[in-house]
Amino acid sequence: MSVSGADRTRKLLTVGVGTVLIVVMGAVLIAGFRLATQMNANVAALQTASMLQTYPAALAQHLTSLRDRLEARAYAGQALADLRTTVESFDRDLKRLASGPAEGPMQIDQAMMLWRQYAPVLEPVLAFNGQPYIDTDEAGSVLSKEGLEHYADVKRAHLFARENADRLQGMLAAVATGLQQQASAQANRLRLLLSAGVIAALVLAVAAAYFQITRASHERAAREAQEQTRDILRTVKEGFFLLDAQYRIGSVWSDALTRLFGRQNFAGLPFEELLKDLVPASTLATAMKYIKLLWGDRAHENLMKSINPLGQLEVQVDNGRGGRETRYLQFDFHRVMGPKGVKHVLVSVSDITSNVLLARELQESQENASNQLDMVLGVLHVDPVQLSTFLDATEAGLQLINAILKEPARTDAEFRKKLDGLFRELHSIKGEASALNLMSIATRVHALEDAVSELKKRAELSGNDFLPLVLKLDELMAHIKTVRELGTRLATLRESALPARGASQGGGVDPNEEISRTLHSLADRLAAEHHKRFKLAINGLSEMPAAYRATIKDVLIQMLRNAAVHGIEPAEVRRASAKDDIGNVRVDFRRVSDGYELVFEDDGVGLSPEQLKAAAVRRGLITSDEAAEMDTRAAMALIFRPGFSTKDDVSMDAGRGVGMDVVARSIYALGGRIGVSTQPGRYTRFKIALPATEEHASTAVA
Amino acid sequence: MTTANGTASAAGTKRSFKLLIVDDSNIMRRRIERSQQFDELEVVGSASNGLEALELFKKTDPDLVTMDITMPHMDGIECIQRLVELKPEVRILVISALADKATAVDAMEKGANGFLHKPFTDRQLNEAIAELIRGL
């Protein structure tokens, strides 16, 4: 800003001084030229004047010569001719002198006047054209009558010429002197003028040199500044650029930006374009709104900094080896103020991946510490019998997972099948752990699930990809062992402290009663975690034969989770649709003529065939054409398909795309059927029919 | 706390401003009312949802509003928009537990003037209110 102002002033000054000097030089040259012309005329006039001074004497001389010739009766023709020539020359030169330079000396007029007086005297002499002599025998040559008159004229003219010669010559000398003075005055003026010209030229040269030097130094300074800017931009680790009011990147950016975004040219690139391929659309929209706010004046810098949505941006970038890797970028925005408000926004981008990872590690280690405590607390709250049942089942499950891992697999499809098996086993362990509030185990299993999900997303699978899973699984098994030891020690402690109570609980806990308790505690936990309010009513579970117990427990846990996460609405939503604030979940188990019937019902939001179809299309289970042709019944059946889930985010309790398909498969495995009916906004009801068991048959007989 | 008090009295303007508190938790409403330490602030009402806030706003014509985001019957974002439509010069401080920056950006875009994250200290609350009063 200030540099360009000084630049403009300097330019104006250069043009001004240059113009003045050129005008001065021009004036000097024109005046000099005119003076020189005048002097030239003066010199010619001076020459004429000097020459004219000789004429009065010459005139008198010619007249003397003519008179003498006439007296000697000698040939007078030549003398008369000379006289004529002289008079003509004099008359011509004098007139030229008089009419010459405008400022001729005034003596010239006096000389002219005197010369005019010569005319009447000289005229008869010059006009003579006859024979001056007559030759006679007696007297020889004598003057003729004409000759006498001529002679008289000559004598008179001679007299006049002799009398006036000095005066005329004096006048002409004065003219010459005058001219001389004029010439010397002009010469002085010319000298002066030339000096002025020389001085002006010198000033011009000095000024030109000065401007040349200052310009060179300015240019050098500008070049140095440019080089320094370039060095800064090349060296800084952050990506720097300016955004203009159209949210476009300016023409200068730091080299780090090239490395961060793997792109060469940023000039004029819209900010939106820079982020488009790196972040989800919603983040992009927020970022653009934020940038717009930066141009307003409502929020000050600190507030804007605190709501910066790009403070820690997760992006997927090319890792240079053909793969993608996750980096964390931090964008900072600073307003650059101009006279009319925000002029630019300076954006700095830094790669904070290592900071983020470090912070995460720290957090993980802190969480681990608090997890230890949670574990102890969790184990304390679980009934020892329940705990050992769970641990047995879990260990069996983990053995199964180990077996799955050891299964040889060669093709990609086989690997994928392996993953699906792993996933189901893990999911059911997680469900049980959550139900018992053993969060230390649930969290670990969840992490394993995450790892499996991650593998499922890979384009290609190989045996090596499973190695990290094996390690994690080992860790989980070690943890289960720790929990078991802790449980045993706590049980011993409890028994020694409360021998009576320990004894009464040790023996006869009804396993069906235990399922009931598990479900109630899971319901409480789910309600608290998902901010839902609902009552769980369980009827007839004591009728359940032992053969179905394990499966039905899993099934009920899964359905209860679905009901709490997807089914029951938040209290305010329920109120808005004229329902009681508190939801209802009902489990009815009863004998029927050909076996058993289990009804699971919640009075929540119900299932919408359209939403189910849309979710299935989104997950690629069916095409949109297929969806369009599906009737309500077929749409409802979608929830039993593998990989179906309507919740997009993944939490501990739902949303992994595993659930009802597992339920359906377990029911089929028992030889049963499952069906669903719903009324959107009112309820969802699952009806499960199970065949009679031997136990049932025998009791029926009895 | 003393800082906030100091700035407020140093400003010397003994004009009084009307404050409306909007939050669906009454604990939070009381907390805000008790923790603010400005003599020139008069709490003219507190609302537990967006609709109620709108009603009270029309009745009491406040200069300042503290606004929760997650509320039943019209959330904070929509409420901000309505309030700004009613009175463009109103200053709104969003006080929300929502951690995502998108909510903050949305609120600012709709016309909020400040953002305070729950949980907050008394000092943070007073500084945020002082910042808003400065803009009045």
Contact A424, A401 (CB under 8 A): no
Torsion of CA A311, A317, A319, A321, to 10 degrees: 180
> In angstroms, what separates the C-alpha of A306 from chain B's closest C-alpha?
8
Amino acid at A487: G
> Could you tell me the two tokens for A373?
């405590």
**CB distance B113–A311 less than 8 Å?**
no
DSSP lists the bridge partners of residue A675 as A687
Class of domain A357-496: mainly alpha
Cβ(A660)–Cβ(A680) below 8 Å: no
Residue A521 CA to residue A382 CA, distance in Å, equals 11
Q: Which amino acid is residue A583, in one-letter code?
A: G
DSSP, res A693: P
Q: Are A641 and A618 in contact (CB under 8 A)?
A: no
Prior bond to B119 cis, omega within 30? Answer: yes
Q: What is A239-351's CATH number, 3.60.15.10, 3.30.460.80, 1.25.10.10, 3.30.450.20?
A: 3.30.450.20
Residue A498: its pLDDT value, please?
Answer: 56
**Angle at A613 (CA atoms; ends A612, A616), nearest 5 degrees:** 85
CA of B74: how far to CAs of A252, A305, B109, in Å?
46, 28, 17
Q: Do the chains contact at A290 and B114, CB–CB below 8 Å?
A: no
Domain A511-702 has CATH 3.40.50.300: no
**Does the pLDDT of residue B135 top 80, yes or no?**
no
Residues of chain A contacting residue B120, judged by C-beta atoms under 8 Å apart: none
Assign residue A179 a region (left: φ > 0; alpha: ψ between -120 and 50; beta: otherwise). alpha
Q: Choose the closest CB to A308 out of B72, B101, B106.
A: B101
What is the reported pLDDT for A105? 67
Residue A496: which residues within 8 A CB-CB, separation 6 or more? none
Q: Is B106–A303 a contact, with Cβ atoms under 8 angstroms apart? A: no
Q: Which residue has the tokens 């991946």?
A: A353
Global ipTM = 0.80
Alpha carbons A100 and A179: distance in angstroms, whole number: 11
Candidates A282, A290, A572; nearest CB to B72: A572
Q: Quote the pTM value.
A: 0.44
Which residue has tokens 């003398």?
A: A79
Q: Give the contacts of A354 (CB within 8 A, at least 6 positions apart).
A: none
Which helix (H) or strand (E) segment holds residue B18: the answer is: strand B17-22
Contact between A212 and A44 (Cβ < 8 Å): no
Mutation target among A303, A569, A574, A649 for the B interface, most CBs of B within 10 A: A303
Please tell me which residue, B121 or A2, carries the higher pLDDT value. B121
Low-confidence stretches of chain A (pLDDT < 50) are 1-2, 102, 500-507, 646-658, 696-702
Confidence of residue B14 (pLDDT cuts 50, 70, 90): low
- The A residues from 266 to 285 touching B (CB cutoff 8 Å) are 282-283
Look at B108 and A293 and tell me if their CB atoms are within 8 Å: yes
Chain B CB within 8 Å of residue A312 CB: no
Q: How many residues does chain B have?
A: 136
Chain A residues whose beta carbon lies within 8 Å of the beta carbon of residue B109: 289, 292-293
Assigned CATH topology for domain B15-129 = Rossmann fold (3.40.50)
Q: Is A117 helix (H, G, I), strand (E, B) or coil?
A: helix
Cβ-Cβ contacts under 8 Å, A308 against chain B: 101
- The rounded Cα A226 to chain-centroid distance in angstroms is 19
Domain ranges within chain A, ordered by starting residue: 2-212, 239-351, 357-496, 511-702
Separation between Cα atoms, residue A172 and residue A108, nearest integer Å: 7
Report domain extents, chain B. 15-129
Contacts 24+ apart (CB under 8 A), A451-458: A452/A419, A452/A422, A452/A423, A452/A426, A453/A423, A453/A650, A453/A656, A455/A419, A456/A416, A456/A419, A456/A423
**Interface touch B106/A298, C-beta < 8 Å:** no
The pLDDT tens digits of the residues spanning B63-117 come to 999 999 888 888 899 999 999 999 999 999 999 887 778 888 899 889 898 888 8
